[in-house]
Amino acid sequence: MNLRRLLRPARSRLLFLILVVPAILVACNEGDPQSTFGTSGPIADAQADLFIFIFWIAVVVFVLVEGALIYSIIRFRRRGSDDSLPVQVHGNTKLEVIWTIVPVFILVAIAIPTIQVIYEQREPPTDQGPVLEIKVRAHQWWWEIEYPGEDVVTANEIRIPVGQWVNFTLNSDDVIHSFWVPKLAGKVDIIPGDVRQLAMRADEVGVFFGQCAEFCGEAHAKMRFRVRAEEPEQFQDWLDSMRRPPVELVSADAIAGQTLFAQNCSSCHSTNTWQGPNARNERTRLAGLRLAFLDNFKDTVVIPAPNLTHFATRDTLGAGLIELNETNLTRWITDPDDVKEGNRMKDLATPYRNNSLTSDDVRQLTAYLLELKPVAADAVIEPDSGGGGGGSATERGAATFAANCSGCHSTGDNRVVGPGLAGLSSRGDDAYIRESIVEPNAVVVDGFPASVMPPGFGATLSADELNDLIAYLKSL
Ligand code: HEC
Ligand code: HEC
Ligand SMILES: [Cu+2]
């Protein structure tokens, strides 16, 4: 047979390889933010080493088998016009024993280090300093982050100290998600109702990309997050800052935006977990919102939403999707679907259902969120003057109401999340109103879900604030 004709199809194959192989090899670029080769911590290191070990075994097997194949094809090919059959062989015990035993050894050689690594990585080592605990709860399509015992809650951006072991406790609020920070550790699936756990350590300061690696619905591909590893002192400064009050708003837009936020956004988002009781209550609050959603999922107006406390200190928006800046935040508040199709905020939040946000509103809300940052560590913190100082009791009560309650209650007759509060004094006395606020589950209003109204107001509102609030509610 003509050797040139035999090789002709191979030429186009060669061309294909020259074009495609570099494209595939780009995926191995260690500098890529999601590369599993450019590792930055011991867990990912061990996993990458294991992969490389198995890879080289596979290369040796490939070269030997493929070599024998190619050798046989060329050496024993049909030549000229010789039509006689080659020697026929049936069975070769020696060869068969060899090619059964050799793979057994190869598989054992792979199994030993694999099982070793699986067991080593089940938990963070106990002999390498204190382990930082972080709770992560996955939602369609964002991440709730809690530092238990620290009174710190945030969303979508996880800060960790470099060089310290971290133990993530992973949970889901709805469907199956998967937690994955390629440069730090392999992925772990999060099954609702089943608490998972993942150890991790970052050995370099830096920002590491993370993302949900399980198809979890419409916006799955845009369910990302960031892990930022910082020097331990810097990390501690951040934890402390998350417990300090926000700076006073300066621009007129931001001040107007604060009221708009209380009316339109605070039913789902909280901005006040810098106060310990609110931070400790945040999980219960979100669980309540989830119940309200399930209770009435056809026309619910609430759903668990990312915590926005000191939001302006974050780098990203939309669950790690885009950089946080004025242009992007304006885009998000104008139309969240324009940034992230399928997100629940656009579907459920009243202002989008009613199409009621004006461009002025958007500008003011943006200004407000971009001023949400903590006061400096050395700032003198004025003791809380109780409901904003001057004015009459009902005026101070109205301000407390706008900041804490107006997202869920109207002052008229209409239902928002909770009942409209007009005529409340005809439904009960002072003691009833007080109890409704500090212990919402004591009496649950007919036709409304229990455990949705946050139980923490008794702890976060001062006695004066509560009295003023009750005076205001009685005036409705
Ligand atoms: C029905 C509940 C709900 C209401 C009301 C709501 N949001 Fe949201 N919001 C969400 C949810 C859910 C997300 C997460 C979306 C995602 O990433 O998939 C979100 C995300 C955000 C984010 C991005 C947070 C992050 O870390 O990526 C911002 C900013 C935001 N909302 C601002 C607002 C503003 C401003 C309003 C009022 C105009 C508002 N939200 C009203 C549910 C709500
Ligand atoms: C996340 C939504 C939410 C927030 C925020 C909230 N509530 Fe409620 N509230 C509810 C729901 C739901 C009910 C009805 C179920 C129940 O009784 O617990 C309710 C019930 C009440 C009742 C009883 C009403 C009646 O008709 O008898 C009062 C009073 C009340 N809330 C006051 C407040 C005040 C004051 C605040 C702010 C400090 C507040 N709520 C914040 C959801 C909320
Ligand atoms: Cu997911």
Using left for φ > 0, alpha for ψ between -120 and 50, and beta otherwise, residue 447 falls in: left
Half-sphere exposure of 472 (CA within 13 A, CB side): 22
For ligand 2, atom 33, the nearest C-alpha belongs to 437
The ligand 1 atom nearest the CA atom of 357: 38
For residues 111 and 468, what is the distance between their CA atoms, to the nearest angstrom?
Answer: 69
Q: What's the full length of the chain, in residues?
A: 476
Same domain membership, residue 397 and residue 366? no
Is the pLDDT at 7 greater than 60? The verdict is: no
Domain-embedded: residue 123: no
pLDDT band at 385 (very low <50, low <70, confident <90, very high): very low
Same domain membership, residue 354 and residue 403? no
pLDDT band at 4 (very low <50, low <70, confident <90, very high): low
Query: 434: domain range?
Result: 393-474
Q: Are strands 157-161 and 224-230 parallel, antiparallel or unpaired?
A: parallel
Domain-embedded: residue 40: no
Query: What is the domain-level CATH number for residue 365?
Result: 2.60.40.420
Domain-embedded: residue 10: no
Q: Are the beta carbons of 263 and 402 closer than 8 angstroms?
A: yes
For residues 211 and 203, what is the distance between their CA atoms, to the nearest angstrom?
Answer: 20
pLDDT band at 29 (very low <50, low <70, confident <90, very high): confident
Is the pLDDT at 77 greater than 90? The verdict is: no
Q: Is 419 in the pocket of ligand 2 (CB under 6 A)?
A: yes
Same domain membership, residue 442 and residue 337? no
Q: Is 417 in the pocket of ligand 2 (CB under 6 A)?
A: yes
pLDDT band at 3 (very low <50, low <70, confident <90, very high): low
Q: Is 408 in the pocket of ligand 2 (CB under 6 A)?
A: yes
Closest CA to 168 of 193, 138, 141: 138
Q: Is 437 in the pocket of ligand 2 (CB under 6 A)?
A: yes
Q: pLDDT: is 25 or 145 the higher one?
A: 145
Same domain membership, residue 331 and residue 188? yes
pLDDT for res 381:
62
Q: Are the beta carbons of 158 and 315 closer than 8 angstroms?
A: no
Q: pLDDT: is 198 or 19 the higher one?
A: 198
139 CA to middle of ligand 3, Å?
7
Q: What mean pLDDT do residues 355-383 have? A: 88
Is the pLDDT at 402 greater than 80? The verdict is: no
270 CA to middle of ligand 3, Å?
22
Same domain membership, residue 434 and residue 347? no
Element (H, E) at 317: strand 316-317
Select from 370, 402, 437 the last residue of a domain. Answer: 370
Same domain membership, residue 200 and residue 318? yes
pLDDT for res 386:
44
Burial of 279 (0-12, 13-18, 19+ CB in 10 A): buried
For ligand 1, atom 23, the nearest C-alpha belongs to 318
Q: For residue 170, give the ligand nearest its CA.
A: 3
Q: What mean pLDDT do residues 364-370 have? A: 97
pLDDT for res 379:
76
Is the pLDDT at 352 greater than 80? The verdict is: yes
Q: For residue 341, give the ligand nearest its CA.
A: 1
pLDDT for res 56:
95
351 CA to middle of ligand 2, Å?
21
Q: Is 270 in the pocket of ligand 2 (CB under 6 A)?
A: no
Same domain membership, residue 405 and residue 354? no
Domain-embedded: residue 447: yes
Domain-embedded: residue 313: yes
Q: Which of 65-79, 304-318, 374-388 has the highest mean pLDDT?
A: 304-318
Domain-embedded: residue 2: no
Q: Is 219 in the pocket of ligand 1 (CB under 6 A)?
A: yes
Average pLDDT of the chain?
Answer: 89
For ligand 1, atom 40, the nearest C-alpha belongs to 265
pLDDT band at 27 (very low <50, low <70, confident <90, very high): low
Query: What is the domain-level CATH number for residue 407?
Result: 1.10.760.10
pLDDT for res 87:
84
pLDDT for res 69:
95
Same domain membership, residue 225 and residue 276? yes
Mutate which of 258, 269, 341 for ligand 1 pocket (most atoms within 8 A of beta carbon): 269
Domain-embedded: residue 33: no
The ligand 1 atom nearest the CA atom of 289: 2
Q: Are the beta carbons of 422 and 454 closer than 8 angstroms?
A: no
Number of domains in the chain: 2
The pTM for the full model equals 0.82
For ligand 1, atom 36, the nearest C-alpha belongs to 265
Burial of 133 (0-12, 13-18, 19+ CB in 10 A): middle
pLDDT band at 150 (very low <50, low <70, confident <90, very high): very high
pLDDT for res 387:
42
pLDDT band at 470 (very low <50, low <70, confident <90, very high): very high
176 CA to middle of ligand 3, Å?
7
Same domain membership, residue 413 and residue 312? no
How far are the Cα atoms of 40, 75, 103, 166, 182 from residue 78, in angstroms, in the given order?
55, 9, 32, 64, 51
For ligand 1, atom 34, the nearest C-alpha belongs to 265
